[in-house]
Structure 1
Amino acid sequence: MDPSGAIVRSVALRMIRRLADQPELVRPLSTVVDMVDNDEADLALDDIGMVIKFSRFPVLRSEYEDLLRAAQQLDSLDSFTDTGVELLIVEG
């Protein structure tokens, strides 16, 4: 697994644990983990951005910063920041 995929996987797993009481969010985040496990880190990054954008759940600053780092490594910074995820950041 490449470093960017490991980051996306880690963030998705942290979100799954944090949002465990919301199965409607856990399912799509689990799909993100599966994508990374299948060496599709770029698609997983796009997918996690869309899940966040459309579900509109709070994103911890540390999660956001990790996803930004992965986006930079995947040369997908513009497509990730275009999702507007930064509007959902909370401290924690």
Structure 2
Amino acid sequence: MVEIIKRYAALGKEPQVSYWRDSNMKEIDFIIEKGGRPQYAIEVKSTTTYRPRAFQNLEDIAPLIGVDPEHRYLVYGGDETFETKHGTVLSFTNLGRLVE
């Protein structure tokens, strides 16, 4: 997440970043807002192996806050970045793509 904040700073912008947890203890690690509305929902996993079930919280919570699958990201320690029907699996090394 520090990489995203550094990129925003380099562009002279300040990101609006928050965290979400509901009453059932489901959480989304980061929500980035643009224009006062959630733009991206990001779940971070330390594993280097992608598992589809890692999108579960994003699928449960993101629709409630108005974030569509094109703006849902699962950041992981693997090398590949690819699209799924649940959202984008994003290698940690490609985090900067969220700021472009």
What TM-score does the superposition give when structure 1 sets the normalisation length? 0.31
Task: Point out which structure has higher relative CO (alpha carbons under 8 A, 6+ apart).
Answer: 1
> Would you tell me which structure has more helix in proportion to its own residues?
1
Q: Which has the larger radius of gyration?
A: 2
